[in-house]
Amino acid sequence: MQVVSTMGTGTLGRDIDLEALVTELEDQLPCVDSNFQSSSMVTIRIKENGPAYTVYRTGSFQIRGAESEDSLQDALGRFRECLADIGVESPGFEFELSTLVCMEDLGQELDLETLAVALGLNNIEYEPEQFPGLVFRPEGHQVTLLLFASGKVIIGGAKKRGQAQAGVERLKEELTELDLPGS
């Protein structure tokens, strides 16, 4: 299983003047890219093609787009360093990984129409005219699996790799019980 993206959320423990924050960052760093989505939030990239930092006026923030848990921690470290360099204190700093997006390859193609019926309509969403994948929410698991005919599976909603792996294992058990391709 491969982690393809992570997201973390946190707080600086104080309100932030977003315009002043962006101005200071632009003065310090050569490639700051900012996008004000409203007067109460801004999305910033401090490295070209790097993770996105969405900062709210309340001091809450999100880091999206890091490719692993380690790169999320590196992105957090860069963010804290940048804030310290421009004199932004964070007295009530908190941060946690909030979600992982993983990918698994089952190694063979899936017949999504047959699978949709076999898995039961209560646990799936499948509208091939609107989206080329089947959405499966395994009962008793906190993850959502996007299944594609190619056998690739995208796992969302996990906070830990073990949760993502457990969701995929449940899918494999279902496929084995149903004696369908992919088991």
Look at residue 122 and tell me whether its pLDDT is greater than 70. yes
Nearest alpha-carbon partner for 168 in 150, 154, 149, 148? 154
Predicted TM-score of the model (pTM): 0.79
Mean pLDDT of 75-94: 93
Look at residue 9 and tell me whether its pLDDT is greater than 80. yes
Query: Thinking of the domain 7-97, which architecture would CATH place it in?
Result: 2-Layer Sandwich (3.30)
Look at residue 31 and tell me whether its pLDDT is greater than 80. no
Look at residue 182 and tell me whether its pLDDT is greater than 70. no
Q: What pLDDT shows up at residue 180?
A: 59
By the 10 Å C-beta count (0-12 exposed, 13-18 middle, 19+ buried), 80 is classed as middle
Mean pLDDT of 90-114: 93
Query: Thinking of the domain 106-178, which architecture would CATH place it in?
Result: 2-Layer Sandwich (3.30)
CATH 3.30.310.10 occupies which residues in the chain? Answer: 7-97, 106-178
